[in-house]
Homo-oligomer: A and B are copies of this chain.
Amino acid sequence: MEMSRSPSQDEAAGILFVVSTGPGDMGNLTPLAREAMLESEVVIGNQFYLEQMKTLLVGKKVITSHMGKEVDRAREAVRLARGSRVAMVSGGDAGVYGMASIVLELAQREAPGLEVKIIPGVTAATAAASVLGSPLSGDFLVISLSDLLTPWEVIERRLDLGFQMGIPIAVYNPRSHNRPGNLKKALEIGLRHARPDTPVGIVRNAYRNEGEDFTVTDLRSLHEDDSAVDMHSMVIIGGESTRLLKEGEDVRGIITPRGYHRKYVY
């Protein structure tokens, strides 16, 4: 929200950046995101993400918080930005299950005229895809299994329609403390519409120094045993044209061809 009217002195001084830091460490932090953090006097964010960006925080006021306090964190950021340059940090892309929307909502209501700038980043879905090969090459669906902010019935209905589309699905929040069975239910819906041997990739800790790994399985097998999926996982379920990437008998990842074979001989 750029300002439309003449700013008061205080508002002129203030700006609130919502900075996407990408997945993992600083290797995925864009120059625009880096600049926004360096320009800010105050940096606010989840402790986990700020840990990865330590070298950018020298000399700044740093306010850390923990998961699950998004509304409080956003309100604090908006309040502080009335008089200073503030960076609200959000992992992945801030506009995808991140802090952008709640910050904009609160800024609109509580600080009209405040300049808010959303800095995009590498989102977790495409980062995980790059680890697996190229499962999201064409059309795809992004969906979260967390029913904290969306009723489960709505999620189920979306999944049912989504699987009918036959396109890959990037599943955020596949596992949560409160509803450990959501993934199994989602895969059940998948099995109504998709081949049981549809490839599925599970990526843990993408681009983090410690412990990035991935597993390739299929819809039926994951439905039988989903213990490989934890809270730090992204699950990508293939579409009807998704297949395994192999070298000899070794599975290397998954790929959704874009369909050049229908147009070209190669």
Partner of A144, one of B97, B130, B138: B138
Contact A142 B139 (CB under 8 A): yes
A149-B260, A264-B71 in contact; A126/B93 too (CB < 8 A)? Answer: yes
Contact A138 B105 (CB under 8 A): no
Contact A245 B102 (CB under 8 A): no
Q: Does A53 contact B (CB under 8 A)?
A: no
B residues in contact with A136, CB < 8 Å: 95-96, 142
Q: Does A1 contact B (CB under 8 A)?
A: yes
Which A residues between 149 and 177 are near B, CB-CB below 8 angstroms?
149-150, 155, 157-158, 161-162, 164-167
Contact A247 B162 (CB under 8 A): no
Return the CB mask of A226-266 against B: 1 if under 8 Å, else 0: 00000000000000000001111010110111111011101
Tell me the complex Cα distance, A67–B192, Å: 39
Partner of A108, one of B4, B129, B246: B246
Measured CB to CB, the closest approach of chain B to A206, in angstroms, equals: 9
Chain B, residue nearest A105 (CB): B257
Q: Does A106 contact B (CB under 8 A)?
A: yes
B residues in contact with A207, CB < 8 Å: 32
Q: Does A46 contact B (CB under 8 A)?
A: no
B residues in contact with A98, CB < 8 Å: 137
Measured CB to CB, the closest approach of chain B to A24, in angstroms, equals: 9
Stretch at the interface among A79-87, A113-121, A183-191, A215-223: A113-121
B residues in contact with A253, CB < 8 Å: 1, 104
The bracket for how many chain A residues form the interface is 35 or more
Measured CB to CB, the closest approach of chain B to A241, in angstroms, equals: 10
Tell me the complex Cα distance, A161–B164, Å: 8
Partner of A134, one of B28, B101, B246, B250: B101
B residues in contact with A27, CB < 8 Å: 30-32
Tell me the complex Cα distance, A252–B115, Å: 11
Q: Does A141 contact B (CB under 8 A)?
A: yes
Q: Does A49 contact B (CB under 8 A)?
A: no
Query: Considering the complex of A and B, which 4 residue pairs feature the smallest CB-CB distances, nearest first?
Result: A149-B259, A101-B137, A100-B134, A120-B130
Q: List 22 A-B contacts (CB under 8 A).
A: A1-B252, A4-B247, A20-B130, A93-B122, A95-B129, A95-B135, A96-B136, A100-B134, A104-B134, A108-B245, A112-B248, A118-B129, A118-B133, A120-B122, A120-B129, A121-B122, A138-B149, A138-B150, A139-B141, A139-B150, A149-B260, A149-B262
